[in-house]
C-alpha cells in the first residue's frame, strides 16, 4: 500500500480533476508549468504568472461583455443587463475561490497544495473567459 502522503496527493489530484471541467486547451495548468520548469519554486512562479495572464484575459472578456450589456441597456431603455453581468461575476468569483479551496484542503498540507489550488484558479478563469466571450457574442 502506498504511503499516506502519496494517497493524499492522489486524492487531491482526483478531486481537482473532478471539480474542474477539463478542456483540451487547458487541461492541466500544473502539468503545463511542470513541463517548463526545473523545480517547485519555478513551477509556482509559472503558475502565478499563468494565473495573472488568465485573470487579465478574463477581465478583457468581462469588459467586452459589459460594453455589450451597456449597449443593450441603452437601446432598450432598461438598466438590467449590466447589473446582471456584474452580479454574475461577483457570484462566480466566490464560486471560484470556494471551489479551488477544495483541492488545496484535500492535499492536506503537502508541498503541492498551493499548485493544485493555482491550477484550479487558472482552469476556472480560462473556462469563465470562454463563457464571457460566448455571452458577448450572443451565444
Q: What is the CATH number of domain 28-136?
A: 1.20.1270.180
Query: For residues 30 and 119, is the Cβ–Cβ distance under 8 A?
Result: yes
What is the CA angle 103-124-117, rounded to 5? Answer: 25
Mean pLDDT of 50-60: 97
pTM, 2 dp: 0.78
Query: For residues 60 and 133, is the Cβ–Cβ distance under 8 A?
Result: no
3-state class of 123 per DSSP? Answer: helix
Given a cut of 70, whether residue 19 has pLDDT beyond it is no
| Cα distances (angstroms) measured from residue 4 to each of 7, 34, 112 | 5, 23, 15
Q: Please identify which residue in the block is written with the cell numbers 470562454.
A: 130
Spatial separation of the C-alpha atoms in residues 67 and 19, rounded to whole Å: 31
pLDDT in tens, 33-42: 999 988 999 9
Amino acid at each position: 500500500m502506498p504511503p499516506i502522503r502519496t494517497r493524499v496527493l492522489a486524492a487531491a489530484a482526483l478531486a481537482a480533476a473532478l471539480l474542474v471541467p477539463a478542456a483540451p486547451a487547458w487541461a492541466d495548468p500544473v502539468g503545463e508549468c511542470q513541463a517548463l520548469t526545473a523545480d517547485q519554486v519555478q513551477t509556482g512562479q509559472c503558475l502565478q504568472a499563468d494565473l495573472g495572464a488568465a485573470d487579465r484575459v478574463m477581465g478583457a472578456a468581462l469588459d467586452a461583455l459589459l460594453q455589450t450589456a451597456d449597449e443593450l441597456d441603452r437601446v432598450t431603455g432598461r438598466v438590467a443587463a449590466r447589473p446582471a453581468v456584474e452580479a454574475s461575476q461577483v457570484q462566480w468569483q466566490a464560486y471560484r475561490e470556494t471551489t479551488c479551496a477544495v483541492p488545496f484542503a484535500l492535499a492536506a498540507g503537502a508541498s503541492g497544495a498551493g499548485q493544485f489550488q493555482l491550477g484550479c484558479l487558472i482552469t476556472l478563469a480560462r473556462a469563465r473567459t470562454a463563457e464571457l466571450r460566448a455571452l458577448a457574442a450572443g451565444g
